[in-house]
Structure 1
Amino acid sequence: MLRVLAVDDEVPALEELVRLLRADPRISHVGCAADSAAALRDVSRVLVAGERLDAVFLDIRMPGLDGLDFTRLLTGFAAPPHVVFVTAHDDCAVTAYDLGALDYLLKPVRPERLAEAVRRLDEVVRRNAAAEDGAERPDQDEMVPVELAGRTRLVSRRAVTHVEAHGDYVRLHTQEGSFLVRMPLAALARRWQPAGFIRIHRSTLVASAHISELRFDGGRAAVQVGGELLPVSRRHTREVRDLLVRRFRHAAPPPETPN
């Protein structure tokens, strides 16, 4: 069961957030704080006491210490809680994800969208616990929530062949179509690197498992991903080539020994 802290300087917004969080059966405890300074004291007290705090759900624009500065200060703790921003402002999403935010919700919060954030939190907490126990599977998947025609759809990371940057968004490409997600490419590259995603261009991230061919033409490199030929920048050519060579060697059967 999850233990979380809700933070907002507006009393009605804080009460509504606490109410929604307490209604979720995956959450066993919901603390609350009226500003970031009080929240920081609460986090420090909980962690120093050796207790668990899985996430902080907080606003960004608050008097004194704002939500972004609060998140930066959390990195000073040995095992900081995850952060989910709940705000009326959509202009801080890029910074929030750069700081490692788990999710970014816009007010007024829709119950189903908050439930999706809690589901993601629960999945991450369980995965991290399994990793600490040495039980995490190397093929652990991740489901990415995308907004589509007013609905939230979950896209499997395994289904993503490549990702392209589009300003403050990224476009996830799958065989079924493409989906826009508000997240910087740099943050996604760091997050998905252990799952085999590799940067081939400043604006392109590719799942190495979906690369079928590496081509060279006039000194320019490109990779074949499904039915698309994607250019590889000079900066990333050697990294891509070395990765594919290692994958080929790993996949190749051992040589037969003569009888």
Structure 2
Amino acid sequence: MLRALAVDDEKPLLEELLYLLRSDPRVSSAEGACDATEALRRITRALESGPEGPDGIDVVFLDIQMAGLTGLDIARLLAGFARPPLIVFVTAHEGFAVQAFDLKAIDYVLKPVRPERLAEAVRRARAQLGDPPQPADPTACPALPDPPAASARVPLPAPAAAVGTPTAPGPRRPAPEVTVADRTSDQIAVELGGVTRFVAIADIAYVEAQGDYARLHTDGASHLVRIPLSTLEERWAARGFVRIHRRHLVALGRIDELRLDSGTTSVRVGSAELQVSRRHARELRDLLTRHATG
């Protein structure tokens, strides 16, 4: 069983990678680090603990382009240790492949990450650690050839273009939980691991901003979409969604309680308690009053 550390400074993409790793039965634990400093702190603790210690890490799934130290910088630092963890680079850029393999990376996975491609990286990590071979997985990617010389070009597939930009002819890989066109005006489509789901807007209790993404919260589940909260606010205003904070958009009819405490306002939506900013508090109270009286 693998103990994994995933490193990415984009929180939604880190959460997606951790979701996929934790869904793999061959991975016993998967923790995340959102920057190079935190990653190095955890790796140092793992090295001090030893391979069999409680903080041990077998493999690091490492983004390359991050603020501060890059993933390549981290890999160079780890190369100086006697028994560093294995490195799998997970990046949107194919141009660093030669450098990655020069640093003894065992795999180079392009974003957006496909579950079957990540499963192949996990298989390679287990093989490197001496785990017994597993039965062939028909969905796994074929093994890559040995890393080429530094002057050669690595024949990797081109990364998918950003949402809304044209792509060259050829297959396009799905982005993790990225919005696509609505199937009807009553639903919003999201993707997770290559599977498109249609979520009824009426089932969404509130929406949480996460950078350029938004997380849709339904009863007992959540879905990440690549669309700003301000866009959803504009689209869904007529459906009773109101902005209560720079981070939250709430379905008015799903608010169970409005709480006033020492000058602060919050609402309870199911089991979640969400803060209401001062600029939105008065408007929200008026809307709830009108909603309650029909």
- TM-score, scaled relative to structure 1: 0.52
User: What is the aligned partner in structure 2 of residue 77 from structure 1?
Assistant: 81
User: What's the offset of the Cα at 1:168?
Assistant: 1.4
Q: What is the CA–CA distance in structure 1 between the aligned matches of 2:126 and 2:58, rounded to whole Å?
A: 9
User: What is the aligned partner in structure 1 of residue 122 from structure 2?
Assistant: 118
Residue 63 in 1 paired to residue 48 in 2?
A: no
Summarize the alignment of residues 118-137 of structure 1 with structure 2, pairs less than 5 Å apart: 118-126=122-130
| Equivalent residues of 2:117, 2:140 under 8 A apart | no
SS of the counterpart of 2:108? Answer: strand
Summarize the alignment of residues 157-176 of structure 1 with structure 2, pairs less than 5 Å apart: 167-169=152-154
Identity of aligned residues (%): 54
Runs of 4+ in 1 over 6 A off after TM superposition: 163-166
Structure 2, unaligned runs of 5 or more: 134-138, 158-294
User: What's the offset of the Cα at 1:37?
Assistant: 1.4
- TM-score, scaled relative to structure 2: 0.46
Q: Flag the structure with higher strand content.
A: 1
Q: What is the CA–CA distance in structure 1 between the aligned matches of 2:140 and 2:127, rounded to whole Å?
A: 21
Once the two structures are superposed, what CA deviation does each residue of 1:131-182 show, in whole Å capped at 9, x if it has no partner? xxxxxxxxxx9xxxxxxxx98324899xxxxx9998313xxxxxxxxxx679
User: What is the aligned partner in structure 2 of residue 54 from structure 1?
Assistant: 58
Q: Do the aligned partners of residues 65 and 164 (structure 1) sit closer, same or farther apart at CA in structure 2, a change above 3 Å counting?
A: closer
Q: Flag the structure with higher helix content.
A: 1
User: What is the aligned partner in structure 2 of residue 34 from structure 1?
Assistant: 34
User: What is the aligned partner in structure 1 of residue 142 from structure 2?
Assistant: 153
Letter matched to residue 36 of structure 1: A
User: What's the offset of the Cα at 1:76?
Assistant: 2.4
Number of residue pairs matched by the alignment: 148
Q: What is the CA–CA distance in structure 2 between the aligned matches of 1:69 and 1:81, rounded to whole Å?
A: 15
Q: What is the CA–CA distance in structure 2 between the aligned matches of 1:151 and 1:21, rounded to whole Å?
A: 15
Q: Do the aligned partners of residues 3 and 166 (structure 1) sit closer, same or farther apart at CA in structure 2, a change above 3 Å counting?
A: same
Q: What is the CA–CA distance in structure 1 between the aligned matches of 2:91 and 2:30, rounded to whole Å?
A: 18
Q: Do the aligned partners of residues 164 and 60 (structure 1) sit closer, same or farther apart at CA in structure 2, a change above 3 Å counting?
A: closer
Q: What is the CA–CA distance in structure 2 between the aligned matches of 1:70 and 1:62, rounded to whole Å?
A: 11
Summarize the alignment of residues 173-188 of structure 1 with structure 2, pairs less than 5 Å apart: none
Q: What is the CA–CA distance in structure 2 between the aligned matches of 1:165 and 1:73, rounded to whole Å?
A: 20
Q: What is the CA–CA distance in structure 1 between the aligned matches of 2:3 and 2:90, rounded to whole Å?
A: 17
Q: Do the aligned partners of residues 181 and 66 (structure 1) sit closer, same or farther apart at CA in structure 2, a change above 3 Å counting?
A: closer
User: What's the offset of the Cα at 1:75?
Assistant: 1.6
User: What is the aligned partner in structure 2 of residue 45 from structure 1?
Assistant: 45
Point out the structure with max Rg over C-alpha. 2
SS of the counterpart of 1:60? Answer: coil
Residue 3 in 1 paired to residue 3 in 2?
A: yes
User: What is the aligned partner in structure 2 of residue 175 from structure 1?
Assistant: none
| Equivalent residues of 2:94, 2:156 under 8 A apart | no
